[in-house]
C-alpha cells in the first residue's frame, strides 16, 4: 500500500459520512401525497447523518418509517428504507438489530419504486445498491446498478448523482483491476462534475475522483502509468481547491489540500508537501475537524522525518495520536461495518507503529539509562494504546473499563516471569523484555512481513497431525523470538514467559516453537496477554473457591456431540466440588439464575465454540442456543463489581479461525470482555478425549497450593505430549492461558 492510499482510505468527516465509494448521500424529495412531517423528518435525519450522528439519524428515520407505513405512503417508505440502508452500509452492526440488513431494505425500496414507476427514486436506490455491492466485492453487479442509475440521472439532469455513480463504477473497476474501464468511468465522472451546479458538491466530487486515481495508482502496470494516474489525481485535487474557494468552503479545502500534499509526498517533494500539509492543518484546526487534524499532523510528522528532523516528527506524531484518540469512536463506526475495505489496524495502526519506531530509534542513541528506559516505556505504551483501540474496534465497545490502572511491575507480580513484548516494524522486530531486573530492548533483523508469513505458515501446518512440516517454521520463529533473549532469561532465572503478541502471532501456539531439539513447552511455562494494561495483576484467589462446570455432551444445533464432556465433569469433581449444568440444564436462563445466586471464581464451559473475525459472530453453544461475548460479559462481569471477580474462565472445546487476525482479537480479549482475570481457551478444536485428559491434569495441578495457572497448563500439556496418542502438537499446543497467569 502506498503512503498516499493510506491517507485517502481512512478519511474524514466529510468523506467518513459518505459511502465507501462515491459519496453516498441520503436523498429526500417531497412528493405529492407525502406529509410535510415525514419530509421534515427525512431532512433532519440527513442533517444528523451529515454530522456522523448515526444513532440520532437512525432513530428519526425509524420514526419516519412507522409514520409512512401507518399512512400507506409507499414512496416515503421507500425513501426512508433507502436512507436507512445508506446509513447501515457505513455504520457498524451495533447500530441495528440482527434482522435489519441494508440489502433487504434496498431491495424492498427498489420494488416499491419500480411499482410506482418512479425512475428518479429508483436511480437513487440503485446508487446505494452499487455502493453496497462494491463493499461486498461484487463489482460486476455493482457497475450494472450504477450504470442504470447514471442513465436515469442524466435524463433527469442530476449531474451530481451521475458523477457519484461513475466514481463508484471507477472504484469498482480499479478494485477489479480493469484500469482501462476505470479510466473511462473516471473521465465520464469528470464531465458530469463539470456540469454540476453546487460548488460544494463539486469540490467533494473532485476529491472522490482524485481518490479513484489514487486507487488506480496501486494497480498501475508500470511506473509510467502510475505517474500518469498520480498527475490526474493531482489535477482533481487542484480543481477541488478552486471550487471550494469559489464558494468559501474551507472545510473541503482542508481535505483537497491535504490529499494534494500526500501526492507530493509520494513524489518525494517533501518540502512542498510540508508547506501544503501545514496549510491543510491550519484549516482543519480553524474548523475543529479532528479527523483531518490527526491525518495532516501525521503527514507533517512523516515529512519532518523524511527531512531529517526526528524530534519535530515525534512531536507531530504525538499530537496526531492525541487527536485520533478523541475521534476513535467515530472511526470505529466506519471500520466496524461489514463493507469496509480496510480495518482500523490496517488504516490507523501505522501511525502508532511509526511513532514507536521513532522512539525506539531515538533510544538507541541515548546513553543515559534512565532517559533510554523512559523512551522504551513510551514506545511500548504507544503500541499498548493501539492494542486497546483494536479491542474496542473489534468489540464495537468502549474498552476503557477493561484497563487495569493499578497494574504492577513484573518484579512485583512474579520474580521468575518475563514479559516479552513483540513490536514488529517494517525493517526489523523489536523485543522489549521485562524481568525483575528491568526493561531491555533486543533488535532482531527480520521484517514484520517475513515474521508474520512464518507465523501463518506455522499455524497452518501445526494443526495437521499427519505431518511435521511445522517444525521448520517453528524453528524460524524460535530463532527470532526466543534465541535473541535467552541470555536475559537465564540471567534472571526466568521460568515463565508471558507474550504480548501482535498480528498473526496472536493466532500461534507459542509452546510449540522449536529450537531443533526441544519445544518451548519443555523450557518455560507460557502465558499470553492482549496488553500489559489489560492484565489484572492482583493476587490469585484460592483454587478451592466456588466452581461452575457447564457442558454439552449431546448433539445440538447441527454440532456433533462431545461424549467425553461427561468424563471431563467427573474428572474435575475429583479436584473440586462444582455446580454442574449439563446438556438439558445447560440453558441460558439457568445460567443467568445460577450466576445471580452465586459468585463463582472458576467457570468451565465444555462446549463447541467459535472465535470469528466479528465479535457478534463469536459464540459458545448451549443446549437452547448460543452465548455471545456480550452474553458472557453480562453473566460474569457483575461478580467483579461485587469484589469477587472470576479467576479463570475455561473454554475447552472452542476454536479460532486460522489465518484470521481479527478472530484472534476475540480470543485474546475474551477474559477482558467477560471481566475475568484469565481465560484458558484453545486455538483449534481438539479431540474431546485429549481435551478431557488435559482438563483433568490441569485442574489437578492447579488445586495444589502455590501452583500458577501457567505452570498448571505446562504440566497438563506435558502429560499430553508424553502420551503416545497425543504426542503431536496438534493435540497439546492449542491451549493458551490468556491474562493473569499466576
For 28, the 3-state DSSP assignment is: coil
Higher pLDDT, 551 or 218: 551
**Alpha-carbon distance 420 to 438, whole Å?**
12
Alpha-carbon dihedral angle through residues 171, 174, 178, 183, given to the nearest 10 degrees = 70
**Alpha-carbon distance 93 to 85, whole Å?**
12
Cell of 443: 533488535
Higher pLDDT, 491 or 25: 491
Would strands 547-551 and 579-582 be described as parallel, antiparallel, or unpaired?
Answer: parallel
Helix H, strand E, coil C: the string for 92-145 is CHHHCCCCCCHHHHHHHHHHHHHHHCCHHHHHHHHHHHHHHHHHCCCHHHHHHH
Q: What pLDDT, on the 0 to 100 scale, is given for residue 719?
A: 98
Average pLDDT over residues 20-29: 44
**Alpha-carbon distance 71 to 90, whole Å?**
29
Could you tell me which of 664, 566, 652, 545 has the C-alpha nearest to residue 609? 652
Handedness of CA 721, 726, 729, 732 (dihedral sign): negative
Q: Give the start-to-end residue ranges of the domains of the chain.
A: 3-228, 418-528, 547-739
Helix (H) or strand (E) holding 379, with range, is: helix 369-395
**Residue 495: band (very low, low, confident or very high) from pLDDT cuts 50, 70, 90:** very high
**Alpha-carbon distance 532 to 529, whole Å?**
7
Phi (first) and psi of residue 398, to 5 degrees: -80, 115
Average pLDDT over residues 105-112: 96
In tens, the pLDDT along 558-568 reads: 999 999 999 99
By the 10 Å C-beta count (0-12 exposed, 13-18 middle, 19+ buried), 491 is classed as exposed
**Alpha-carbon distance 689 to 694, whole Å?**
9
Buried b (16+ CB within 10 A) or exposed e, 150-187: bebbbeeebbbbbbbbbbbbbbbbbbbebbebbbebbe
**Residue 390: band (very low, low, confident or very high) from pLDDT cuts 50, 70, 90:** confident
Q: What pLDDT, on the 0 to 100 scale, is given for residue 9?
A: 35
**Angle (deg, nearest 10), helices 199-218 and 179-195:** 170
Helix H, strand E, coil C: the string for 490-514 is HHCCCCEEEEECCHHHHHCCHHHCE
Distances (CA, A) of 309 to 265, 297, 425, 426: 16, 15, 20, 20
Average pLDDT over residues 685-711: 92
Q: What pLDDT, on the 0 to 100 scale, is given for residue 406?
A: 46
For 338, the 3-state DSSP assignment is: coil
**Alpha-carbon distance 194 to 242, whole Å?**
12
Distances (CA, A) of 245 to 164, 257, 296: 21, 11, 20
Q: What pLDDT, on the 0 to 100 scale, is given for residue 336?
A: 57
Q: Is residue 322 scored above 80 in pLDDT? A: yes
Strand residues in 382-437 grouped as ranges (E): 417-424, 429-435
In tens, the pLDDT along 225-250 reads: 999 999 999 999 999 999 999 999 99
Cell of 263: 501526492
Q: What pLDDT, on the 0 to 100 scale, is given for residue 555?
A: 95
For 49, the 3-state DSSP assignment is: helix
Helix, strand, coil tally for the chain in percent (to 5): 65, 10, 25
Q: Are 334 and 90 in contact (CB under 8 A)?
A: yes
Could you tell me which of 382, 628, 380, 668 has the C-alpha nearest to residue 508? 668
**Residue 35: band (very low, low, confident or very high) from pLDDT cuts 50, 70, 90:** low
Q: Is residue 661 scored above 90 in pLDDT? A: no
**Alpha-carbon distance 645 to 540, whole Å?**
10
Q: Is residue 520 scored above 80 in pLDDT? A: yes
The fold of the 3-228 domain, in CATH, is 1.25.40
Helix (H) or strand (E) holding 74, with range, is: helix 74-90
Q: Are 22 and 131 in contact (CB under 8 A)?
A: yes
**Mean pLDDT for the chain?**
88
Which residue(s) pair with 604 in the sheet?
A: 549, 650
For 604, the 3-state DSSP assignment is: strand
Higher pLDDT, 329 or 524: 524
Higher pLDDT, 588 or 405: 588
Q: Are 661 and 716 in contact (CB under 8 A)?
A: no
In tens, the pLDDT along 400-450 reads: 455 554 456 676 688 999 999 999 999 999 999 999 999 999 999 999 999
Domain 418-528, CATH: 3.30.420
Total Cβ atoms within 10 A of residue 361? 16
Local structure of residue 633 (DSSP, 8 states): H
**Residue 334: band (very low, low, confident or very high) from pLDDT cuts 50, 70, 90:** low
**Alpha-carbon distance 728 to 707, whole Å?**
26
In tens, the pLDDT along 151-198 reads: 999 999 999 999 999 999 999 999 999 999 999 999 999 999 999 988
For 428, the 3-state DSSP assignment is: coil
Total Cβ atoms within 10 A of residue 291? 22
pTM of the complete model: 0.89
Give alpha helix (H) positions in 222-343.
223-246, 250-267, 270-286, 290-306, 310-326, 328-335
**Residue 276: band (very low, low, confident or very high) from pLDDT cuts 50, 70, 90:** very high
Cell of 292: 483531518
Local structure of residue 615 (DSSP, 8 states): G
How far from chain centre, in Å, is Cα 742?
Answer: 29
Higher pLDDT, 338 or 185: 185
Give alpha helix (H) positions in 136-198.
139-156, 159-176, 179-195
Q: What pLDDT, on the 0 to 100 scale, is given for residue 586?
A: 96
Local structure of residue 72 (DSSP, 8 states): T
Q: What pLDDT, on the 0 to 100 scale, is given for residue 99?
A: 79
**Alpha-carbon distance 404 to 130, whole Å?**
45
Largest CA distance in the chain: 83
Q: Are 258 and 295 in contact (CB under 8 A)?
A: yes
Lowest-pLDDT range of 101-105, 668-672, 729-733: 668-672
Buried b (16+ CB within 10 A) or exposed e, 306-329: eeeebeebbebbbbbbebbeebbe
Higher pLDDT, 633 or 615: 633
Average pLDDT over residues 571-593: 94
CATH 3.40.50.1460 is right for the domain spanning 547-739 = yes
**Residue 23: band (very low, low, confident or very high) from pLDDT cuts 50, 70, 90:** very low
Q: Are 714 and 525 in contact (CB under 8 A)?
A: yes
Higher pLDDT, 595 or 94: 595
Asked whether this chain's domains 418-528 and 547-739 adopt the same fold, the reply is no
**Alpha-carbon distance 204 to 224, whole Å?**
28
Q: What pLDDT, on the 0 to 100 scale, is given for residue 665?
A: 84
Amino acid at each position: 500500500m502506498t503512503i498516499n492510499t493510506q491517507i485517502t482510505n481512512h478519511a474524514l468527516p466529510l468523506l467518513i459520512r459518505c459511502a465507501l465509494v462515491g459519496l453516498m448521500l441520503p436523498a429526500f424529495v417531497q412528493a405529492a401525497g407525502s406529509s410535510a412531517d415525514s419530509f421534515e423528518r427525512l431532512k433532519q435525519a440527513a442533517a444528523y447523518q451529515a454530522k456522523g450522528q448515526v444513532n440520532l439519524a437512525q432513530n428519526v428515520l425509524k420514526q419516519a418509517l412507522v409514520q409512512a407505513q401507518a399512512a400507506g405512503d409507499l414512496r416515503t417508505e421507500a425513501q426512508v428504507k433507502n436512507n436507512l440502508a445508506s446509513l447501515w452500509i457505513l455504520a457498524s452492526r451495533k447500530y441495528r438489530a440482527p434482522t435489519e440488513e441494508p440489502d433487504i431494505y434496498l431491495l424492498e425500496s427498489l420494488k416499491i419504486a419500480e411499482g410506482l414507476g418512479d425512475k428518479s427514486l429508483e436511480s437513487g436506490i440503485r446508487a446505494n445498491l452499487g455502493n453496497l455491492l462494491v463493499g461486498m466485492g461484487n463489482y460486476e453487479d455493482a457497475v450494472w446498478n450504477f450504470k442504470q442509475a447514471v442513465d436515469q440521472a442524466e435524463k433527469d439532469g442530476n449531474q451530481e448523482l451521475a458523477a457519484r455513480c461513475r466514481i463508484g463504477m471507477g472504484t469498482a473497476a480499479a478494485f477489479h483491476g480493469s484500469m482501462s474501464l476505470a479510466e473511462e468511468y473516471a473521465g465520464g465522472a469528470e464531465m458530469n462534475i463539470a456540469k454540476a451546479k453546487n460548488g460544494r458538491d463539486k469540490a467533494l466530487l473532485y476529491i472522490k475522483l482524485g481518490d479513484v486515481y489514487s486507487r488506480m495508482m496501486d494497480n498501475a502496470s508500470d511506473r509510467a502509468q502510475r505517474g500518469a494516474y498520480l498527475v490526474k489525481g493531482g489535477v482533481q485535487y487542484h480543481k477541488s481547491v478552486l471550487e471550494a474557494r469559489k464558494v468559501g468552503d474551507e472545510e473541503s479545502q482542508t481535505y483537497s489540500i491535504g490529499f494534494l500534499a500526500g501526492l507530493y509526498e509520494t513524489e518525494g517533494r517533501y518540502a512542498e508537501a510540508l508547506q501544503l500539509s501545514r496549510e491543510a492543518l491550519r484549516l482543519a484546526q480553524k474548523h475543529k475537524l479532528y479527523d483531518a487534524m490527526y491525518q495532516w499532523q501525521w503527514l507533517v510528522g512523516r515529512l519532518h522525518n523524511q527531512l531529517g528532523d526526528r524530534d519535530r516528527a515525534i512531536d507531530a506524531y504525538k499530537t496526531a495520536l492525541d487527536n485520533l484518540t478523541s475521534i476513535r469512536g467515530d472511526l470505529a463506526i466506519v471500520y466496524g461495518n461489514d463493507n469496509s475495505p480496510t480495518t482500523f489496524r490496517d488504516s490507523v495502526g501505522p501511525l502508532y507503529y511509526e511513532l514507536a519506531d521513532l522512539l525506539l530509534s531515538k533510544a538507541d542513541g541515548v546513553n543515559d539509562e534512565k532517559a533510554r528506559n523512559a523512551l522504551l516505556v513510551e514506545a511500548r505504551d504507544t503500541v499498548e494504546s493501539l492494542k486497546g483501540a483494536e479491542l474496542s474496534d473489534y468489540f464495537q465497545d468502549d474498552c476503557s473499563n477493561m484497563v487495569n490502572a493499578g497494574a504492577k511491575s513484573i518484579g512485583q507480580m512474579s520474580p521468575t516471569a518475563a514479559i516479552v513484548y513483540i513490536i514488529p516494524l517494517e525493517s526489523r522486530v523489536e523485543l522489549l523484555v521485562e524481568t525483575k531486573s528491568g526493561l531491555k530492548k533486543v533488535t532482531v533483523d527480520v521484517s514484520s512481513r517475513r515474521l508474520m508469513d512464518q507465523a501463518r505458515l506455522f499455524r497452518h501446518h501445526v494443526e495437521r497431525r499427519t505431518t511435521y512440516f511445522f517444525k521448520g517454521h517453528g524453528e524460524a520463529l524460535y530463532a527470532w523470538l526466543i534465541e535473541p533473549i535467552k541470555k536475559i532469561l537465564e540471567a534472571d532465572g526466568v521460568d515463565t514467559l508471558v507474550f504480548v503478541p501482535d498480528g498473526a502471532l496472536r493466532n500461534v501456539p507459542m509452546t510449540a516453537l522449536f529450537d531443533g531439539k526441544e519445544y518451548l513447552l519443555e523450557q518455560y511455562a507460557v502465558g499470553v496477554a492482549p496488553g500489559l494494561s489489560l492484565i489484572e495483576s492482583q493476587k490469585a484467589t484460592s483454587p478451592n473457591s466456588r466452581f461452575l462446570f457447564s457442558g454439552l455432551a449431546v448433539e445440538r444445533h447441527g454440532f456433533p456431540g462431545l461424549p467425553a464432556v461427561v468424563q471431563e465433569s467427573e474428572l474435575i469433581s475429583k479436584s473440586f466440588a462444582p455446580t454442574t449444568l449439563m446438556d438439558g440444564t445447560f440453558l441460558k436462563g439457568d445460567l443467568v439464575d445460577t450466576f445471580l445466586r452465586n459468585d463463582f471464581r472458576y467457570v468451565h464451559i465444555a462446549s463447541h465454540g467459535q472465535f470469528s473475525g466479528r465479535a457478534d459472530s463469536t459464540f459458545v453453544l448451549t443446549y437452547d442456543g448460543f452465548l455471545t461475548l456480550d452474553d458472557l460479559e453480562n453473566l460474569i462481569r457483575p461478580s467483579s463489581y461485587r469484589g469477587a471477580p472470576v479467576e479463570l474462565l475455561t473454554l475447552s472445546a472452542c476454536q479460532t479461525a486460522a489465518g484470521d487476525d481479527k478472530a484472534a482479537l476475540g480470543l485474546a480479549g475474551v477474559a477482558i470482555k467477560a471481566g475475568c482475570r484469565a481465560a484458558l481457551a484453545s486455538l483449534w478444536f481438539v479431540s474431546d478425549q485429549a481435551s478431557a485428559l488435559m482438563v483433568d491434569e490441569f485442574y489437578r495441578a492447579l488445586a495444589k497450593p502455590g501452583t500458577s495457572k501457567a505452570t498448571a497448563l505446562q504440566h497438563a500439556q506435558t502429560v499430553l505430549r508424553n502420551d503416545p496418542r497425543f504426542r503431536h502438537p496438534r493435540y497439546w499446543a492449542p491451549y493458551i492461558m490468556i491474562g493473569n497467569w499466576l
